[in-house]
Amino acid sequence: MTTTPVPPVEVDGDAEELDDTLSASGGAVAVVADPFCDRDAVLDHARSTLGATRVRLEPAAEAGSVPAFADGPVVADDCHHLYARRVGGFDPLDELLDRLASASCRVVTSWNRYSWNYLSAVRDLDDAFRYVVTLPPLSAERIATTIRRRHGTLPAFAESPGRGSSPVTAATYEIPLPRRGPVSVRLPIVDVDYVTAWLGNRDRPAPEELVFQRLTRLSNGNPGVATAVWDACVDGDVVTPADLDLPVERTDPGDDAAAVLGVVVANESVTREELRAVVPDASLDRALGALVDRGFVGTGDPVTLSPDGLPGAIAVLDRRRWLW
Amino acid sequence: MAVVTADAVGGLRIDAGTLVGALAIVVVAYLLARAARVVLSALADRATDRGPVIRLAIPMTKFLIYGAAIYSILGPLFRLSQAQALAFSGVLGAALGFGLKDLFANLLGGLVIALETPYQVGDRIEVGDHYGEVVDVGVRATRLRTPEDDLVAVPNYLAITGPVANANAGDSEMLVVTELFVTPDADIARASAVVEEAVLTSRHLATDRPVTVLVEAEPRYRTIRAKAYVNDLSAEFAFGSDVTRRALRAFEAEGIPTPSPQILDEAERR
């Protein structure tokens, strides 16, 4: 089993490096990142550095599930499960904040970025942590390293067939038509990846460089999303930039489905019971069906976010201003 | 070619070519204004954050187009001699004084709205007795869509002669006040906490704005008033409804008593 290296981090607080925050004499640490962004690697490092006990909070965590911070360092994963967006849903979080205030040991916690932003706005969560460690988007080089590490031998890289290496490419749009369903349309657009790579070295970019530049853009530098997109798009002995193609989802899933999606994106994994409380007056099955059809979430209970559907899900919520 | 001579304005010649040209200019201006509105509205819809700024350009663009059209029509005609200018000003003065006073007041009001922007397309305003969303700032009137989905054309002069209340002033967020009522013997602290959590957990809440919960004591009930910002203007009423519905559900689940509708009706009548 290989150990995942610690990704680059940014530290907010009176420290500059992750290890500075861990070696400090006191103060709780929050590790904040987008879904699928390797928070685990940072927490693995914290656990081994501190010799800490590791606990993982599960979906629908209730008051009483917050660990006691008294018997040595604790690393707590997925603390965004400590709240629900309903009346009475903040009780477990309030318990955590009370325990943090009286903790006598080092505590390192991890949070989904959207939950963190929301809870910092409505519950002043950020005031409870002396150090906030965030994981910024990775560069194309780091995304390439991640893919190589996870897949070992990669296929050969080649130019896109029929187009070669060109600053013009095409994008696929799904346009909903009444009574005919969505129709895929490809439109020519400027190849942002080609132009970005060209601006970087002032030379015609190699196919490998273009592939990882595109993968980085599609995943917004998120290693988990990049890996999922790679797995979905690359199949065979040769990979070209054109193979990495996520159709642009333009249809809106509707109010109830978007409300459910907002909760799933912020919590990454939510029980159906919790989701039922989000849309008490609507059919949860219909809302989830609309999200599954668009590839945003998986089936099952708890409902989990799909990594390759995250960019589309973010776009839906952003259009509605439901992203925090 | 037929020629109409207007002796009243000192021999100004208006022939069929002039009339056709003027008509063509008006039609082109109308089409251009419509196209500008459609394009700018579409751009504003796509640009979530800069939408209000783009919408701000709609009335200004229309005024520029219609202004250019009027200049194109009247410019060639207004190479007036002293006598013509005197005669024309007399006619204009009479027209303004008798028939076109309101029209010119509205046109002037539209110009002031375009320049001063007391409101813009997308804002929630109250002018005179009318409240609603501004869907169009026209040359003569401003069109509002009311909460009952009526389209009301409010003459522009009202905006410069009376008070205008603007709930969001170009911002995409606006303050919404939601009121809930409990009986005097209810646990006010718990009821306030329930209302606050109903606001904080609403999908429509603008989380970067403050939330305030106030309590007021009336003889036969207590009012819990929540002030919070909605993250999208179109959700103004959905936000209040969402908070009210979930707070009432929590009141019922926790046994927090609410006053009867008769008590509230009597209080409202008083």
Residue B232 CA to residue B203 CA, distance in Å, equals: 10
pLDDT at B2: 46
- What is the pLDDT at residue B1? 45
Q: Establish if A208 belongs to a structural domain.
A: yes
Whether A88 and B203 lie within 8 Å, measured CB to CB: no
Strand partners of residue B13: B5
A121 contacts in B (CB within 8 Å)? 207-208
What HEC string does chain A produce? CCCCCCCCCEEECCCCCHHHHHHCCCCCEEEEECCCCCHHHHHHHHHHHHCCEEEECCCCCCCCCCCCCCCCCEEEECHHHHCCCCCCCCHHHHHHHHHHHCCCCCEEEEEEHHHHHHHHHHHCHHHHCCEEEECCCCCHHHHHHHHHHHHCCCCEECCCCCCCCCCEEEEEEEEEECCCEEEEEEEEEECHHHHHHHHHHCCCCCHHHHHHHHHHHHHCCCHHHHHHHHHHHCCCCEECHHHCCCCECCCCCCHHHHHHHHHHHHHCEECHHHHHHHCCCCCHHHHHHHHHHCCCECCCCCEEECHHHHHHHHHHHHHCCCCC
Identify any residues that bridge with B205 across adjacent strands, giving them in sequence order: B230
In a domain, A50, yes or no: yes
B18 membership: H or E segment, kind and range = helix B16-46
Highest mean pLDDT (candidates A58-72, B157-171, B251-265) = B251-265
Whether B192 has its CB under 8 Å from any CB of chain A: the answer is: no
Q: Cα distance from A283 to chain B (closest Cα, Å)?
A: 17
pLDDT of A1 strictly over 70: no
Token representation of residue B198: 């109903």
**Residue A92 scores a pLDDT above 60:** yes
Alpha-carbon gap, residue A230 to B42, rounded angstroms: 34
In terms of average pLDDT, the best of A1-15, A208-222, B110-124 is: A208-222
The reported pLDDT for the residue numbered B242 is 92
State the Cα–Cα distance between residues A163 and A159, nearest whole angstrom.
8
Q: Do A87 and B246 touch (CB under 8 A)?
A: yes
More confident residue, A217 or B6: A217
Q: Tokens 């460089």, residue? A: A209
Summarize pLDDT for B160-193 with one digit per residue, the tens.
Answer: 888 888 888 778 788 999 999 999 999 999 999 9
Is the pLDDT confidence value at B52 over 70? no
B232 touches chain A (CB under 8 A): yes
> B142 vs chain A: nearest CA distance in angstroms?
27
Crossing angle of the two packed helices A207-219 and A192-201, in degrees rounded to 10: 120
ipTM, two decimals: 0.81
Task: Check for a shared fold between B124-166 and B174-269.
Answer: no
In a domain, A248, yes or no: no
Cβ separation of A118 and B232 shorter than 8 Å?
Answer: no
Q: Which residues of A touch B196 (CB under 8 A)?
A: none
Q: Is there a contact between A87 and B48 if contact means CB atoms under 8 Å apart?
A: no
Contact between A259 and B203 using a beta-carbon 8 Å cutoff:
yes
**pLDDT at site B97:** 66
Query: How many domains is chain A partitioned into structurally?
Result: 3
Query: From CA A234, how far away is CA A246, in angstroms rounded?
Result: 12
User: Which one, of A132, A133, A130, A124, lies nearest residue A26 by Cα?
Assistant: A130
Q: Which two tokens stand for residue B136?
A: 């169009």
The answer to whether the Cβ–Cβ distance between B197 and A90 falls below 8 Å is yes
Instruction: Look up the CATH architecture of domain B174-269.
Output: 2-Layer Sandwich (3.30)
Given a contact cutoff of 8 angstroms between Cβ atoms, the answer to whether B248 and B258 are in contact is yes
Please check whether residue A207 is in contact with residue A157, taking contact to mean a CB–CB distance below 8 angstroms: yes
Claim to verify: residue A26 and residue A120 sit in the same structural domain: yes
Q: Is B201 on the interface with A (CB under 8 A)?
A: yes
Whether the bond between B163 and the residue before it is cis, its omega within 30 degrees of 0, is: no
Q: Position A291: which residue type?
A: L
A176 reaches B (C-beta below 8 A) = no
- Of A119, A134, A149, the position where a domain reaches its end is A134
Lowest mean pLDDT among A279-283, B6-10, B51-55: B6-10
Q: Is residue A63 part of a domain?
A: yes
Size of interface A-B (CB pairs under 8 A): 41
In terms of phi and psi (left: phi > 0; alpha: psi -120 to 50; beta: otherwise), the region of B128 is: left
CA distance B88 to B97: 14
- The mean pLDDT of chain A is 86
> Would you call A315 an interface residue with chain B, using a CB distance cutoff of 8 Å?
no
Residue A193 CA, chain-centre distance (Å), reads: 22
Asked if the model's pLDDT at residue A323 lies above 70, the reply is yes
DSSP B77: G
Nearest CA-CA distance, residue B49 and chain A, Å:
10
Closest CA in chain A for residue B198 = A87
Q: Which residue has the higher pLDDT, B248 or B19?
A: B248
Interface check A122 vs B, CB under 8 A: yes
**Assigned CATH topology for domain B124-166:** SH3 type barrels. (2.30.30)
Record: contact B197-A318, CB cut-off 8 A? no
Is A320 close to B232, i.e. CB distance below 8 A?
Answer: yes
> Do B201 and A121 lie within an 8 Å CB cutoff?
no
The reported pLDDT for the residue numbered A205 is 76
Residue A299 lies in a domain: yes
> What is the CATH number for A114?
3.40.50.300
Which residues in chain A are contacts of B200 at CB distance < 8 A? 90, 122
> What is the token pair recorded at B7?
């002796």
Residue B11, helix vs strand vs coil? coil
Q: A97-137, pLDDT tens digit by residue?
A: 999 988 888 999 999 999 999 999 999 999 999 999 999 99
Selection from A143, A147, A62, A114 nearest residue A261 by Cα: A114
Amino acid at A282: A
Check pLDDT > 90 for residue B128.
Answer: no
CB crowding B215-235: b at 16 or more within 10 Å, else e: eeeeeebbebbbebbbbbbeb
Residues A238 and A270 placed together within one structural domain of the fold: no
Of A28-32, A195-199, B56-60, B196-200, the poorest mean pLDDT is in B56-60
Residue A294's domain comprises 255-319
The pLDDT-based confidence of B80 (bands split at 50, 70, 90) is low
> B236: closest CA among B161, B136, B138, B132?
B132
Chain B contact set for A319 (CB, 8 A): 48
Q: Is the pLDDT of residue A163 over 80?
A: no
If asked whether residues A231 and A264 sit together in one domain, one would say no
**Cβ contact (<8 Å) for A118 and B231?**
no
Q: How confident is the model at residue B118 (pLDDT cuts 50, 70, 90)?
A: confident
Angle at B25 between CA B23 and CA B29, to 5 degrees: 120
- A128 and A149 assigned to the same domain: no
Residues with Cβ within 8 Å of residue A304, at least 6 apart in sequence: A264, A268, A269, A297, A298
Using CA atoms, how far residue B216 sits from B79, B213, B267, in Å, is 69, 10, 14
For chain B, domain boundaries:
3-99, 124-166, 174-269
Q: Which of B233, B115, B131, B117 is nearest to B174 (CA)?
A: B233
Distance in angstroms between the alpha carbons of the first and the last residue of chain B: 74
Q: Which residues of B touch A117 (CB under 8 A)?
A: 207
Judgement on whether residues A19 and A118 belong to the same structural domain of the protein: yes
Secondary structure of residue B258 in the 3-state scheme: coil
Which residue among A220, A243, A266 closes a domain?
A243
Query: In a 3-state reduction of DSSP, which class is residue B136?
Result: strand
Residues A100 and A163 in one domain: no
Specify the pLDDT at position A124: 92
Interface test with A, best of B46, B203, B241, B248 (most A CBs within 10 A): B203
From chain A, the residues in CB contact with B245 under 8 A are 281
Which B-chain residues 104-123 have CB contacts (< 8 A) with chain A? none
Residue B4 pLDDT > 50:
no
- Whether A118 sits inside 8 A of B203 (CB atoms) is no
Q: Which residue intervals of B75-201 are DSSP H helices?
A: 82-98, 101-116, 157-161, 188-200
> Does A129 lie in the same domain as A14?
yes
Confidence of residue B78 (pLDDT cuts 50, 70, 90): low
Q: Are A324 and B207 in contact (CB under 8 A)?
A: yes
Q: What is the pLDDT of residue A126?
A: 93
A85 and A168 both lie in a single domain: no
Q: First-to-last CA distance in chain A?
A: 36
CB atoms within 10 A of CB B9: 18
pLDDT in tens, A26-47: 889 999 999 999 899 999 999 9
- A35: amino acid identity, one letter: P
Mutate which of B200, B224, B231 to disrupt the A interface (most A C-beta within 10 Å)? B200
Residues B133 and B121: their CA atoms lie apart, in Å, by 8
A87 and A144 co-located in one domain: no
- Alpha-carbon distance of B160 to A282, in angstroms, equals 46
Phi, psi of A15 (to 5 degrees): -150, 160
A212 within a domain of the structure (yes/no): yes
What's the pLDDT band for A14 if we cut at 50, 70, 90? confident
Cβ neighbours for A101, distance < 8 A, ≥ 6 positions apart: A128
Helix pair A91-101, A113-123: axis angle to 10 deg: 80
User: A299-320, pLDDT tens digit by residue?
Assistant: 888 999 999 899 999 989 988 8
